[in-house]
């Protein structure tokens, strides 16, 4: 089971579910109003589900039925944007804004495409224009705050983030506020802006990915690696220096117009195409082509100018999109209301969302600066398990362990116990739905406490058994997350196994173990380094049941008892092996000859569990 299987649902998933539910209602209304249903409704529904190919087809059908329908043009643009095709998205969103003048949603879509293109200044202008007609649109105002932050306009970013938060935006606005406060050295204010509790921050960090991700706010903090654009990205010049100067790209035209184009170097001749159909050729130094748009159907059309040299080779090209709108559209209140609702839903879906690691990263940074390393560890351990290759998450995890005094424990390994006659009773694997309750009963009858080295994915599956182990007074420890041979993993993958398992156990019982046993005893320099960095002591054994599996039950008991003649660490299993057949007699024999039985952490005199609850921490 992967960590993604147990992640809480994030804000984007909730927003998407609400939009899909609303579309179900709108889709029913559209089907009633238009008989066969509405292709744009279905297109948006498919887009939200990530089925971009079929969404593109549906938006195309809607556009074929009405070539001047803005929401269909914007739908095609949204698919381009989700596919990373920024230039056609910019052009089509601009066309949609021309087709729906005075409406906020096409401008919000355009701003999102401009952010994707790395132009936060243009995006801020589009978002501002959208807010002039709909100032209460909190999600758009939060993205305006983000665009301003990207330009270093932190005061304006903070003002807009606070306004968005007052309107109820809870996804981007708190992150912008926290990032600005951290820049200004107000770590406690940043924690307050993020909600004050690490659990809530982790909950907002997960969930299905939206169509568009914004650059990380956390990585843009002073002194940290930045993922934000460092300069405005301008459109790539047309090959060969062809520039269509009139009409402008994305504009709405009617009647007779003149297509005008210029060249850096005059070509031998130039050809003009409309929707890939040849319409004109000229050998003049400039293109001046009359176009009677009344002979063309209303809707979106593509105008292309190709420049050729004397050998007939194409040396330059530029293409733009225009909207032909000659017929006066009849007002259909039902269609207009549906399109307005679809447009807002489409714009919401296209708004960039923060990377899922931003909330925990900002929170961990703020908590650490504020002198609350326990809160930093609480919030960063599980996100690191999800994205172990993210350098900043790994750094924050290491720093939190260091600041709590957990990192690099001494001794790094527990190989023997300090006094003769001591026997540490340990069980590897589990929790197991049948064996674990039985073992707890056996131990309770004999008043023996033990250490359970648990497999993380089993702890996720049976959290109630983890709690039962702790409630019975036993120690819990880590035995990896997937029970793999750790020596075959990179160090960062080993750290993930350890962090993910510790998170799973802590999630079940509120305690973070600091003892670890590698599966199979496989131990290398990388395993040792990973364990030390995350604050684990590695526990080995002096008597292992696996050594005697070929013997009779009596032979197993005799062999283990002999290995523990002077005491030591006993390794049994919390699963399907011979342990249930010998454990009672073995414990009785050890107790009868005067051995001191107990958990390994307690007998060795080291801290075995880091307890975190309510933002406060202690080591036990």
Q: Quick: pLDDT tens for 187-242.
A: 999 888 887 545 555 544 444 444 455 566 665 544 333 222 223 333 333 445 79
What average pLDDT does range 407-418 have in this prediction?
90
- The pLDDT score that the predictor gives to residue 576 is 84
pLDDT per position as a tens digit, 104-133: 999 999 999 999 999 999 999 999 999 999
- The pLDDT score that the predictor gives to residue 28 is 41
Write down the catalytic residue from 80, 301, 382, 573: 573
pLDDT band at 580 (very low <50, low <70, confident <90, very high): very high
pLDDT per position as a tens digit, 372-393: 998 899 999 999 999 999 999 9
pLDDT per position as a tens digit, 596-609: 999 999 999 987 76
CA separation (Å) from 356 to 26, 193, 204, 380, 571? 30, 17, 8, 12, 40
- The pLDDT score that the predictor gives to residue 198 is 52
Mapped onto helix, strand or coil, the DSSP state of residue 162 is helix
Domains of the chain: 239-333 (2.60.40.10), 413-619 (3.20.20.370)
Q: Is residue 6 predicted with pLDDT exceeding 90? A: no
- The pLDDT score that the predictor gives to residue 614 is 39
Helix axes 104-116, 86-99, angle to 10 degrees: 170
Q: Which residues on adjacent β-strands are paired with residue 259? A: 289
432 in catalytic set: no
Write down the catalytic residue from 358, 428, 526, 561: 428
573 in catalytic set: yes
Alpha-helical segments (H) within 184-235: 187-193, 198-204
- The pLDDT score that the predictor gives to residue 431 is 96
Round the average pLDDT of the chain to a whole number and report it. Answer: 84
- The pLDDT score that the predictor gives to residue 435 is 96
What average pLDDT does range 178-186 have in this prediction?
91
Mapped onto helix, strand or coil, the DSSP state of residue 246 is strand
CA separation (Å) from 460 to 434, 512, 513, 536? 16, 14, 15, 20
What average pLDDT does range 161-177 have in this prediction?
92
Query: Higher-confidence residue: 212 or 492?
Result: 492
- The pLDDT score that the predictor gives to residue 226 is 25
Q: What are phi and psi of 289, to 5 degrees?
A: -110, 120
What average pLDDT does range 523-546 have in this prediction?
95
Q: Which 8-state DSSP code applies to residue 219?
A: G
Q: Is residue 415 predicted with pLDDT exceeding 70? A: yes
**Cβ atoms of residues 403 and 551 within 8 Å:** no
pLDDT per position as a tens digit, 284-309: 888 898 988 888 887 788 899 988 88
Q: Is residue 30 predicted with pLDDT exceeding 50? A: no
Span of 8-12, 240-244, 416-420, 464-468 with lowest mean pLDDT: 8-12
């Amino acid at each position: 089971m992967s960590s993604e299987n147990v992640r809480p649902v994030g804000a984007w998933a909730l927003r998407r579910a609400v939009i899909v539910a609303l579309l179900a209602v709108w889709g029913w209304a559209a089907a009633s109003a238009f008989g066969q249903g509405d292709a744009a409704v279905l297109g948006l529904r498919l887009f939200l589900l990530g089925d971009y190919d079929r969404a593109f087809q549906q938006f195309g059908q809607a556009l074929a039925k009405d070539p001047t329908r803005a929401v269909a043009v914007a739908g095609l643009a949204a698919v381009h944007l989700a596919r990373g095709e920024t230039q056609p998205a910019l052009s089509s969103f601009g066309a949609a804004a021309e087709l729906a003048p005075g409406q906020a949603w096409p401008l919000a879509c355009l701003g999102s495409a401009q952010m994707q293109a790395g132009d936060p200044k243009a995006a801020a202008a589009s978002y501002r224009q959208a807010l002039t007609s709909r100032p209460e649109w909190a999600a758009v105002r939060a993205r305006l705050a983000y665009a301003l932050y990207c330009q270093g306009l932190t005061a304006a970013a903070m003002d807009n983030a606070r306004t968005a938060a007052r309107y109820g935006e809870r996804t981007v606005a708190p992150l912008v506020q926290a990032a600005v406060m951290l820049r200004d050295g107000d770590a406690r204010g940043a924690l307050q802006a993020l909600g004050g509790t690490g659990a809530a921050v982790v909950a907002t960090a997960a969930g299905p990915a939206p169509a568009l991700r914004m650059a990380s706010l956390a990585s843009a903090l002073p002194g940290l690696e930045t993922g934000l654009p460092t300069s405005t990205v301008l459109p790539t010049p047309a090959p060969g220096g062809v520039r269509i100067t009139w009409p402008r790209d994305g504009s709405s035209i009617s009647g007779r117009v003149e297509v005008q184009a210029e060249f850096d170097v005059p070509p031998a001749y130039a050809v003009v195409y409309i929707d890939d159909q040849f319409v004109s050729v000229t050998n003049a130094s400039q293109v001046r082509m009359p176009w009677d748009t009344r002979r063309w159907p209303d809707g979106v059309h593509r105008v292309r100018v190709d420049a050729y040299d004397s050998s007939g080779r194409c040396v330059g090209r530029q293409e733009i999109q225009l909207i032909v709108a000659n017929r006066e559209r009849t007002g259909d209140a039902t269609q207009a209301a549906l399109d307005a609702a679809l447009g807002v839903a489409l714009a919401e879906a296209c708004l960039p969302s923060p990377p899922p690691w931003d909330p925990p990263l900002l929170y961990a940074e703020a908590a650490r600066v504020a002198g609350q390393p326990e809160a930093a560890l609480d919030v960063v351990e599980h996100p690191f398990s999800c994205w172990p290759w993210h350098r900043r998450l790994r750094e924050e995890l290491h720093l939190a362990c260091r600041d709590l005094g957990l990192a690099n424990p001494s001794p790094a390994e527990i190989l023997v116990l300090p006094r003769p006659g001591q026997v540490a009773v340990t069980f590897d694997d589990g929790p197991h739905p049948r064996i674990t309750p039985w073992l707890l009963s056996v131990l309770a009858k004999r008043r023996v406490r033990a250490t359970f080295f648990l497999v993380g994915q089993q702890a996720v599956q049976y959290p109630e058994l983890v709690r039962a182990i702790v409630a019975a007074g036993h120690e819990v420890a880590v035995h990896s997350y997937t029970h793999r041979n750790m020596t075959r993993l990179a160090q960062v993958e080993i750290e993930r196994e350890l962090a993910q398992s510790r998170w799973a156990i802590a999630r079940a019982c509120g305690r973070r173990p600091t003892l670890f046993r590698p599966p199979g005893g496989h131990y290398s320099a990388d395993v040792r380094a990973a364990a030390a960095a995350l604050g684990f002591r590695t526990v080995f054994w002096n008597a292992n049941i696996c050594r005697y599996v070929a013997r009779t039950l009596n032979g197993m008991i005799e062999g283990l008892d002999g290995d523990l003649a002077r005491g030591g660490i006993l390794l049994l299993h919390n699963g399907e092996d011979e342990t249930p057949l010998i454990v009672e007699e073995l414990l009785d024999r050890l107790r009868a000859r005067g051995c001191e039985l107990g958990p390994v952490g307690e007998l060795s005199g080291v801290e075995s569990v880091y307890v975190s609850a309510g933002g406060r921490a202690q080591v036990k």
